[in-house]
């Protein structure tokens, strides 16, 4: 989008944002916040998005990191006014932007989509690991249909970029991450932002004299980190994966940026900390995995293996109580079925034990969406050999049997 579409006006501690907040324009907003707080010393800041036309995860996560730093380190009182336009106004709530920017005013997002992840904050290895699991689970719950290795490559890139925040950023506030998917383009995007030292300052601890642009360029070279050569693979490997198909990669830090389309650039407005935006193209199976050089180094136990593979037998364990938030909605049934379909594609020779232990009742709509549609989609023979039900009470079994029968009858009637 045209960076000129964004208009930022400051009147004391009131900052009005109009137009489109994009990756090409967000530095203007950061400059206005810096001027109000650091140069003018305002301790009460209002971010007025009422006239904003559009906003995207990357610039918003960078903003959230700055807001957290101002609250924690400068005791700045922040107020956010959501956009007037209805869809964007709801997005500020659903994507968790409003809450993370001004947690005292807005409650956390209650939106629970299965195939994306609203913005989240992490500041410890445990929180980082949990967020990475949520992100991978969201992709597994989507119709994206990544191969097993491509999903492992995706998991590795997310973990590495998030891990950089904890290892190098020196940010007490931790980092912010968000996942988006674009199924029609067969792309998945994740954003990681922090308001820590930033790549240029970090790289200059062992390489004094680097310009900000030189530091960013060096950071994506193979085997380069701020501490020693031979250990830096995260940014390098992620950039490799982003080059597949129509993928893209961008870093904003200090007075510089680097991107797939824009190349390495000096910037007139600095970004405190680091913003990394990664969009991966999964349209060609196995391409993401093949793009990672030295991929044997990363071939360790991944999310799918640890969560689903049985320790003693060649089967997958799918525990319904762990996989769905509710057994009373069609939406939850669709998410569970999509996971099963993706697992069947990843493990074509493994049966799946679908465990209903601890579940005494399910809705007919859940049963239809989950196993009724799965039965007709993969066929009776494949279903009977690949799906093995466990821990099913007589009540639940009767609902499942009826759902499968009715779905088969409906399909026969339609055909």
Give the whole-angstrom CA distance, residue 116 versus residue 414. Answer: 33
How do strand 14-21 and strand 175-182 relate by DSSP bridges? Answer: unpaired
What the block records as the tokens of 396 is 């639940």
Per-residue tokens: 122:
């992490």
The CA distance from 348 to 319, in Å, is: 19
Contact 319, 307 (CB under 8 A): no
From the number of C-beta atoms within 10 Å of its C-beta (0-12, 13-18, 19+), residue 174 rates as: buried
Distance CA 125, CA 254 (A): 25
pLDDT score of 325: 84
Task: Specify the pLDDT at position 297.
Answer: 57
Beta-carbon-side half-sphere exposure of residue 47 (alpha carbons within 13 Å)? 27
Pairing of strands 387-390, 352-355: parallel
- The rounded distance, in Å, linking the Cα atoms of 221 and 238 is 11
Spatial separation of the C-alpha atoms in residues 98 and 105, rounded to whole Å: 8
Backbone angles phi, psi at 116, to 5 degrees: -135, 170
pLDDT along the chain (415 residues), means of 10: 77 97 96 96 97 97 97 94 96 97 94 89 95 94 92 93 89 94 93 95 91 94 56 77 94 96 92 96 93 66 92 95 92 95 96 97 97 96 97 97 96 86
Structure tokens at 115: 């195939």
How far is residue 372 from each of residues 300, 344, 360, 384, 404, measured CA to CA in Å? Answer: 35, 16, 19, 13, 4
Residues 6+ apart with CB under 8 A from 71: 78
Distance CA 415, CA 11 (A): 66
pTM: 0.91
Q: Which of 145, 141, 195, 147 is nearest to 169 (CA)?
A: 195
Could you tell me the strand order of the sheet in which 187-194 lies?
117-122, 175-182, 187-194, 263-281, 248-259
Predicted pLDDT at 221 = 87
């Amino acid at each position: 989008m045209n960076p000129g579409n964004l208009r930022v006006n400051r009147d004391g501690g009131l900052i009005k944002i109009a137009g489109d907040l994009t990756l090409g324009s967000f530095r203007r907003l950061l400059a206005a916040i810096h001027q109000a707080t650091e140069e003018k010393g305002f301790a009460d800041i209002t971010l007025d998005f009422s006239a904003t036309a559009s906003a995207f995860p990357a610039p918003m996560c960078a903003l959230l990191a700055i807001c957290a730093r101002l609250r924690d380190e400068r005791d700045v009182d922040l107020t956010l006014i959501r956009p007037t336009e209805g869809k964007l106004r709801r997005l500020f709530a659903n994507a968790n932007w409003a809450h993370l920017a001004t947690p005292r005013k807005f409650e956390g997002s209650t939106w629970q989509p299965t195939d994306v992840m609203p913005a989240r904050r992490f500041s410890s290895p445990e929180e980082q690991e949990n967020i990475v699991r949520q992100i991978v689970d969201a992709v597994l719950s989507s119709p994206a249909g990544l191969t097993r290795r491509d999903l492992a490559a995706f998991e590795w890139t997310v973990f590495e970029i998030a891990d950089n925040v904890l290892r190098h950023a020196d940010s007490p506030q931790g980092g912010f991450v968000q996942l988006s998917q674009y199924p029609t383009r067969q792309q998945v995007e994740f954003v990681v932002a922090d308001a820590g030292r930033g790549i240029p300052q970090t790289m200059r601890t062992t390489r004094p004299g680097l310009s900000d642009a030189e530091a960013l360029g060096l950071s994506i070279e193979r085997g380069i980190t701020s501490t020693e050569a031979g250990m830096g693979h995260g940014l390098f490997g992620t950039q490799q994966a982003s080059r597949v198909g129509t993928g893209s990669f961008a870093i904003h830090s200090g007075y510089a940026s680097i991107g797939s389309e824009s190349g390495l650039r000096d910037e007139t407005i600095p970004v405190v900390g680091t913003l990394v935006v990664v969009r991966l193209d999964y349209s060609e199976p196995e391409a993401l995995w093949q793009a990672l050089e030295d991929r044997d180094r990363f071939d360790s136990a991944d999310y799918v293996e640890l969560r689903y593979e049985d320790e003693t037998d060649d089967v997958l364990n799918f525990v319904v109580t762990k996989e769905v938030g509710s057994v009373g909605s069609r939406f939850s049934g669709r998410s569970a079925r999509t996971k099963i379909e993706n697992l069947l594609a990843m493990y074509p020779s493994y049966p799946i034990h679908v465990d209903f232990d601890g579940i005494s009742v399910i809705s007919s709509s859940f049963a239809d969406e989950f196993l009724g549609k799965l039965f007709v989609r993969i066929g009776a023979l494949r279903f009977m050999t690949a799906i093995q039900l466990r821990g099913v009470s007589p009540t639940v079994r009767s609902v499942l049997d009826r759902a499968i029968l009715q779905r088969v009858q409906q399909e026969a009637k339609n055909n």
